[in-house]
Amino acid sequence: MSISGGSVLQYAIPHCISNISWNLYIFHHHIDCDSEQKNSIDFFENGSWEIQGEFGTKNGREWKNDRDKKIAEQIQSEVVNRDKSLAKQEARINAKIDNINNNAKLSDDKRSQQIATQQNKLEAVKTERNIISTLDKGITQLGASKTVYTFNTVESGITATLSSQKDGTVIINNYGTLGNRSHETSHAIQYDNHLITFNPLGSNNLLMRNPLGIEIQAYGTEYSITGGIVPLSDNGTPKSIFGITPNWLYGLKDSSGTYLYRPSNYK
Amino acid sequence: MRYIKIIVISTCFLFSCNIKQRAYSGKYGIIYTGGKYVPYVYSLKLNNDNTFDYSYSSGWIQKISNGTWNIDSRSNKLLLCSNVDNVKSIPILVVELSDSIINSKEFIFVNPTSDSTLWSVFINGTRYPIKSDKVTISNDIKIDSFYIEGYKDFTNITPYPLQETVRSKIHYVKNAQNNVFSISFPKFVDYYIFHYETIKDSFSIKRNYIIWQKGGIKLRKLPEP
């Protein structure tokens, strides 16, 4: 749409509606739905005005707002950095395997043993790369989804997990750290993939097909993106991505000593 | 004259107490973003009308509460008293009517959760599941008392509930001739009732923080939005 007219422009700013997208440009200045409800411009005394704009139903390819898009891009940028670091680790391990293979002084047993150790490390690095690649693709999927997603850094309130609004908007509540943000984003991806649902929509009650598996995947993402920064568990510190297990999860607790992932706690 | 003095002094005392109380109202909280423990968030809002709203969330655990607050001026402690004293004895509002047109007894229930919670009315100890927010029984059944029970199956649902079953106080029928009973819970009962934690305790309070646990967590006063 493009229209033009005389010296005074009057316009109304539509409300922000989650499933409607619109862009309004007045002389190339973008007016967004969060802007002040100023509805007239009269500074074109000697000239004319021109508006270019478009309205449409959100059919994907958008986050709820620019801030969400920026956060999504920040996480994806961290994925790129972390993947570079993991690729270097992978190259170093492969070089070590070559060295071990070429070391004529080693006995066959010793060589097999050392190669097995390096192979385990290699598997762990490859797994982490797969996990963050899944996160990266998942974020792109969320941006293109028909569901509207938005990030909310928790200040204080009733929930610090994924929650929903009655209009279907999904809020990725998080503590603002890279690890936690990635963790909660992976739950949003699980929601988009129908692995979890809200019960009912509008709440933060999540119905999960496989709660432990869902949570291990999210903590695995947190571990992989941060280079191994995860909370302390009574059941040991993970030495690799393969240490994020149900047993490790059972040992997680809050500052008051309450275990947070054990159904037996409340029964 | 003496009475007027007493009234004036009492009014001033109450007014100054009210001002003192107001100084403590506001939002308190702490957000632990992670590291040694799983991240958690506490939130306590002391409203100007002496009501409070509390929430705690971490991992799969969520607790909420609401009620009234006061400051004990002698000990300078914050006193919190939840609206629900016992989740197995929640207050209910019942309106009883006699309707000669219908030839049955009807229980009309205002569902506070609108989710998969299974609500039942227990009449003289017998369970009647509430379907479509209504239960109809024969007029021949004599009703002395009844209560409402809610059950939600939390299998594979997070956050965890603190209880899977909640129950109302027992209502004793006022008039044996009444045959229509409209039942509802107070406004503070919603689907978070399964996460409800009863708080009836005193806490050290300063102008800028509350000590929430023994030797532990400080809930700091948050700036007004």
Give the pLDDT confidence of A167-225 residue by residue, as tens digits: 999 999 999 999 999 999 999 999 999 999 998 888 888 998 889 999 999 999 999 99
A200: nearest CA partner in chain B: B115
A103 min Cα distance to partner chain B (Å): 42
CB B107 within 8 A of CB B146: yes
The predicted pLDDT at position A5 comes to 55
Q: Is the pLDDT of residue B47 over 60?
A: yes
Size of the A and B interface in Cβ pairs below 8 Å: 119
Among A155, A156, A233, A250, pick the best mutation site for testing chain B contact (most B Cβ within 10 A).
Answer: A156
Spell out which residues of chain B touch residue A204, defining contact as CB-CB under 8 Å: 62, 159
Ramachandran region, residue A160 (left: φ > 0; alpha: ψ -120 to 50; beta: rest): alpha
Q: Residue A207 is nearest to which of B55, B64, B157, comparing CB atoms?
A: B157
Tell me which chain B residues have a C-beta less than 8 angstroms from the C-beta of A258: 58, 61
- Predicted pLDDT of residue B76: 86
Output B23 or B197, whichever has higher pLDDT. B197
* Element spanning B109, H or E: strand B104-109
Residue A84: what pLDDT? 98
Res. B202 pLDDT band, cuts 50 70 90: very high
Residue of B nearest to A257 (CA): B37
Q: In this predicted structure, what is the pLDDT of residue A190?
A: 97
Per-residue pLDDT of chain A (267 residues; tens, 9 = 90+): 445 555 555 555 544 444 444 444 444 444 544 444 444 444 444 344 445 444 444 444 478 899 999 999 999 999 999 999 999 999 999 999 999 999 999 999 999 999 999 999 999 999 999 999 999 999 999 999 999 999 999 876 656 789 999 999 999 999 999 999 999 999 999 999 999 999 888 888 899 888 999 999 999 999 999 999 999 999 989 999 999 999 999 999 888 788 999 866 543
Q: What is the per-residue pLDDT for A27?
A: 47
pLDDT band at B215; cut points 50, 70, 90:
low
Residues of B in contact with A156 (CB under 8 A): 27, 29, 31, 41-43, 222
Global pTM value: 0.77
Sorted by sequence, the CB contacts under 8 Å of residue B6 that are 6+ apart come out as none
Does B217 sit within 8 Å of A260, measured CB to CB?
no
| DSSP codes of every residue in chain A | -EEEESS-EE--PPPP-TTEEEEEEETTEEE-TTS----EE---TTS-EEEEEEEEE--SS--SSHHHHHHHHHHHHHHHHHHHHHHHHHHHHHHHHHHHHH-TTS-HHHHHHHHHHHHHHHHHHHHHHHHHHHHHHHHHHHHHSSS-EEEEE--SSS-SSEEE-TTS-EEEEE-SSHHHHHHHHHHHHHHHTTSEEESSTTSS-EEESSHHHHHHHHHHHHHHHHTS----BTT---SSGGG--HHHHHTBB-TT--BSS-GGGT-
Q: What is the pLDDT of residue A28?
A: 43
Whether residue B40 and residue A255 make contact (CB cut-off 8 A), yes or no, is yes
pLDDT tens figures, B80-111: 999 999 999 999 999 999 998 999 999 999 99
pLDDT of residue A47: 47
B191 Cβ under 8 Å from any chain A Cβ: yes
Examine the pLDDT at B176 and tell me if it is beyond 50: yes
Q: What is the ipTM metric for this complex?
A: 0.76
Q: How many residues appear in chain B?
A: 225
Chain A residues lying within 8 Å of B114, measured CB to CB = 200
Lowest mean pLDDT among A40-54, A197-211, B8-22, B123-137: A40-54
Q: What is the radius of gyration, based on Cα positions, of chain B?
A: 22
What is the pLDDT averaged over residues B187-205?
A: 93
Residues B218 and B222: their CA atoms lie apart, in Å, by 12
- Please indicate if any CB of chain A lies within 8 Å of the CB of B222: yes
Does A154 contact B42 at a Cβ distance shorter than 8 Å?
Answer: no
